[in-house]
Every structure is written in structure tokens, then in C-alpha cells.
Amino acid sequence: MDIEIISDEFKLQQANRYSLWLYLSDNDCSFVILDDTSKLFVGIKRVSHISLTKTIELFDELSAIPFSRVSIALDAQPSLMIPRALFRQENKRNLLAFTSEFNEEHEVIEQFIPSLSMVNLFAVAPSFKSFIAPYFPKANLIHTSSAMLIAAANLSRSVDSSPTMGIRITDNYLYVCVFDNGKLILSNYFAIKTCDDIVYWLLRLCEQFGFQTSKVRIYFQGVDNLLDERIVVLKQHFAKLSLLPFPDLFQLTPEIKAEAKEIFTDLFYLPICEL
């Protein structure tokens, strides 16, 4: 689904009021524009199956606007969550290499999540850094799983004591974070090819932690609607499935609010990575 809404609330001549939150994957390029003062989203764009040429054109357009800051989210592999108390800057490459293989030329980036007292480590290829540098040399790189972690943690604290899972599905990976009584007990990703693979990993996690599938709450990020094939299959095993609700920390202009905002929670949740 391609969409573009730039509200009349957005004042180009006052661009330093706004921050740009950009999400990149192999096939999609999406962004939201946030008024940092009012916490109002004033623009959104999503282009699916985007070509390299179109990506460069979009970057040319966005880099000409003097945003106060630019943050770029990516589904980088590998990634690892570390408690802040255990994190040591000098050991970050060894920590990440302990669970995953990655090229020594990759840069290992740490993203501290204050609300969880966790550090999200992930590796970024030098080719990616060199690609974005001419356009956004000061961009802050973040991992998409960070937003899902914070969202799922907040939801886990606001409902009953049922276990809560936040999941994000890409073409090849299933990201999962698991909370029980508001506490993070797992954050991991799994290779997938089919819907059955998703069911397999989630059932394995329930078995591992002794959860009853009838009581586990599962929240999806980056899924268009509850009729999505993957959700329909999961409904055969899990009773409590929902899309991530819109975060109440922010507001939407009327033009954006008119859209099905649940479709874009993967974008709208990105600014909470700072919390």
C-alpha cells in the first residue's frame, strides 16, 4: 500500500520544528514527520516495492529539508538485547558475536532504552552507512525492534497479569519480545519461511515458559489488518490477537487520522525509542 499525506499543519519554512523518522527495508521506504513541540504527526509516506532510483529521489527530496533531526530505523541483523548493568562499551562486539555471526567490517551500534534499562545492540554494514551518509550524515540509527519492545512493555503493564508478546514479521524473520507481569523475559528473532514457522516458534515459546495459549496476549507490529493470512492462521492457536494500538503519547492531524492508523503503528511508534 502506497500512501502520502503531508498536512497543511506542516510549515516548510519552519522545518527545524520537525523531526523525520524514516524506516528502510529491502522493499519499502516509509517516513513520518513529527512536530517535536506539540507531539503532532504532520506527515506520512509509505512506498512499497521501491526501487533504488526511487529511494535516491526520495532521499534527495527529504535531505533538502532542514529537519531538526533525522532518525533511521532498519531491520538490521543481527541484534541483541543486553541489560544496562551488564553492558560494557569495550565488549559490545564480543557480546553480539556470542549469539550471531557478522562481518568484522560491520559497525556495532548500541541503543540505550531508558524505560527498560536495556541496550539494543545491532550491526550495520559499511555499505549502508556510506549509502545514507551523503543525504543524512548525522542520522541516528535505531533498530525497529526497539519500538516494539517499548510498546509491548507499556501494554503488558496496563493490562492484567497475562503474558504479553509483541511480534514483528518481515519476509524472513520473526521478531518476538515476551513480557510477564510487566517484565521482559525474552527478546529474540527467528528465521521463517511460512506461516507454519511462525506458529511453531510461538508455540515453542509458550511451552518453554509454561504459558497457556488461551491467556497469552499477542500484539502485531507492521501487519495491515486482522484478516492478514498470518493472523488468521495464528487464531487457530491463540485467542487474544490484536494490532498495536496507536500510542497515546502523540497526536495526528485530521488528514492522517482519517486513514486506518493501525496500519502505520510501525512508523508512529518509532519516536518512543527515545523513552
pLDDT tens, position by position, 119-146: 999 988 888 889 999 999 999 999 988 8
Distance CA(61)–CA(227), nearest Å, equals 35
Q: What is the pLDDT of residue 229?
A: 81
Q: Does domain 159-243 have CATH number 1.10.645.10?
A: no
Q: Would you state the pLDDT for residue 1?
A: 61
Residue 43's DSSP bridge partners are 6, 33
Query: What does the pLDDT average to over 216-239?
Result: 82
In percent, the amount of the chain with pLDDT more than 70 equals 96
Bigger pLDDT: 90 or 252?
252
pLDDT of 248 reads 85
Q: What band does 160 get if pLDDT is binned at 50, 70 and 90? A: low
Distances (CA, A) of 212 to 46, 205, 239: 37, 11, 10
Burial class, 79, CB count within 10 angstroms (exposed 0-12 / middle 13-18 / buried 19+): buried
Residue 253 has pLDDT above 90, yes or no: yes
| Amino acid in the structure at residue 152 | A
pLDDT of the residue at 155: 86
Do the strands 183-191 and 173-180 form a parallel or antiparallel pair, or are they unpaired?
antiparallel
Which pLDDT score, from 0 to 100, does residue 224 have? Answer: 66
**The pLDDT of residue 272 is above 90:** no
Name the one residue in this structure whose C-alpha cell is 538490521. Answer: 76
Q: Record the pTM.
A: 0.87
Q: So what's the pLDDT on residue 225?
A: 67
Is residue 233 over pLDDT 90? no
CATH number of 1-146+250-260: 3.30.420.250
What backbone torsions phi and psi does residue 66 show, to the nearest 5 degrees? Answer: -80, 70
Residue 258 pLDDT more than 90? no
DSSP-derived secondary structure for 65-108 = S--SEEEEEE--SSEEEEEGGG--GGGHHHHHHHH----TTSEE
Domain boundaries of the chain, sorted by first residue: 1-146+250-260, 159-243
Using the predicted structure, report yes or no on whether residue 212 has a pLDDT greater than 80.
Answer: yes
> What Rg do the C-alpha atoms of the chain give, in angstroms?
19
Is there a common fold for 1-146+250-260 and 159-243?
A: yes
Task: Give Cα separations from 105 to 8, 82, 146, 200 (angstroms).
Answer: 44, 22, 24, 34
Min mean pLDDT across 102-106, 180-184, 247-251 is at 102-106
10 pLDDT above the threshold of 90: yes
Residue 177, classified by CB atoms within 10 Å of its CB into exposed (0-12), middle (13-18) or buried (19+), is buried
Per-residue pLDDT reduced to its tens digit, 64-118:
999 999 999 988 767 888 888 888 888 888 888 777 777 788 888 899 988 888 9
Q: How far is the C-alpha of 219 from the C-alpha of 255, rounded, in Å?
A: 26
Mean pLDDT for the chain overall:
87
